[in-house]
Amino acid sequence: MLRGSLAENARLQAETTAREVAADVTDVTAGEVDGMVVLEDDEPVQVVDGSGAVLGASRPLRGRGPVADFNRPRPSATVGASPRDSDGADGTADDADDTDDGADDTDDDDRDDAADDDAPSPEQTPVEVDRNSAAGIVSFPVDDDGEVTYDRGRASRGQDFNLVAVQSVTRDRVPVTVYAGASLAEQEEAVSSVTRAMLVGLPALLLVVGGVTWAVTRGALRPVEGIRREMAAIAAGTDLSRRVPEPPSRDEVARLARTTNETLAALESSVERQRRFVADASHELRSPIASLRTQLEVAAAHPELLDLDGAVHDTVRLQDLAADLLLLARLDAGEPAGEGRVDLDALVREELAQRVGDRIAVTLETGGREDGSPVEVTASRSRLARVLGNLLDNAQRHAASRIRVGVGREGERAVLEVADDGSGVPEEERERIFERFVRLDDARSRDDGGAGLGLAIARDVAVRHGGTLTVGRAPEGGALFTLRLPAA
């Protein structure tokens, strides 16, 4: 890019010079071209007529042959040459020999100048043309100062010039071609300097960039290595309370560390819940199994002492507990249940019809729906029946004399309420009762076989169906359980 830009600048410079000379040529005759002031410049300029004769040239090309053809240079008459050396260009030769006819002293001065310059003839030092280039690049001999010269004692090397040709016509209607050249030394020097700088600086720059990249990458990945090391230690041991270090930054690595710690916290909570569940389940299973074993052993030794009703009660309790544990396992595993449209009114009536032996009769309310329209949800009928049964069992266990079930709507949600007139649930215990194997003291005192899983199962089923299950105070003074599900 640098080479092309500087070459274009040189071409524009040469074209500007050629156009200036071509403009001045139009004001003089063919014989007056060599006396133009514009040709006194040090830039290489030549004015050649149609026959190839040099009508005038600037100081660097004075007395030299023409540059008429980039591909096939040929010698022709030049300033200061005799007619026999000018290939028949008599007018040009005459003008070159003596620009003022009859002025011998001028001719002598010209010859003295030529002698002072020690300029060889065109046949001795022809202009060298780069035949491999069609872009107008020519090579002139230059001295140590970069000046174009044909003095063999001063010429040290060849210098490329960008040569531009411009057509023009003299005042006496003689067509001419103006050649002007601009040195490409600046281009060559600049490209050479940049090349040397790149050869020296690029390896160093690569080393610096590589070192900085390595340092930055290592610094950025150091927290990741800390996270990996801590995770490896956690995986190798059993202490899930450990946490990975969180960097103080707010970048992706910090967010990764925070998410990892949140995952570890959830995993620790899940494992702890599982351990507690297993311990509680073992404890709850131990009681009916031990009671049943004792009764069977007594019956084996003394058949007349067999408490058949007690054995059946313990067996049923054991069966219910196993069913509850199986349902919780399925809920935890996310096992989908068959879903369909369920009419809550019909579901409540069917459930109440099967509970003829309950201690307290249950009152059904429709929520003041005058139109009698059904309240339907999309859910698993069997699991909703399990939720309603668990809530009714809990109410039967705590109610004093009244239990009420209500069905209604709240906007886009279906609502199922179970209220009793018992002692209610203390506000600080209203979330705790939904944990597994949790029973309040009064529940334990009046326990008829429950293991503390009914409300936990009810809430899990509600959440799996996109709903909620909450507890508050009922107008009757006891507990009010409210199940809200998206209406169908």
Residue 386 has pLDDT above 60, yes or no: yes
- At residue 101, the 3 state secondary structure works out as coil
Domains (ranges, CATH) in the chain? 2-183 (no CATH), 336-486 (3.30.565.10)
**Which pLDDT score is estimated for 49?**
86
52-66 mean pLDDT: 79
Neighbouring residues of 467: CB distance < 8 A, sequence distance ≥ 6:
413, 483, 484, 485, 486
pLDDT in tens, 303-326: 877 777 777 877 887 887 888 888
pLDDT in tens, 147-179: 666 555 554 556 777 888 888 888 888 888 888
**Which pLDDT score is estimated for 391?**
92
Whole-angstrom CA distances from 351 to 131, 345, 413 are 109, 10, 21
pLDDT in tens, 114-150: 334 443 333 333 333 333 333 466 666 666 666 666 5
Q: Is the dihedral of CA 294, 297, 302, 305 positive or negative?
A: positive
pLDDT in tens, 335-356: 777 788 999 989 999 998 888 8
pLDDT in tens, 71-119: 333 333 333 333 333 333 333 333 333 333 433 443 444 434 433 444 3
Q: What is the average pLDDT score of the chain?
A: 76
- Top pLDDT among 103 and 438 is at 438
**Which pLDDT score is estimated for 89?**
35
pLDDT in tens, 33-46: 888 877 877 788 88
Q: Are strands 362-365 and 403-410 parallel, antiparallel or unpaired?
A: parallel
Alpha helices in 249-343 (DSSP H): 252-301, 308-332
**Which pLDDT score is estimated for 8?**
86
Residue 368 has pLDDT above 70, yes or no: no
> Token pair of 355, please?
């509970």
**Which pLDDT score is estimated for 296?**
83
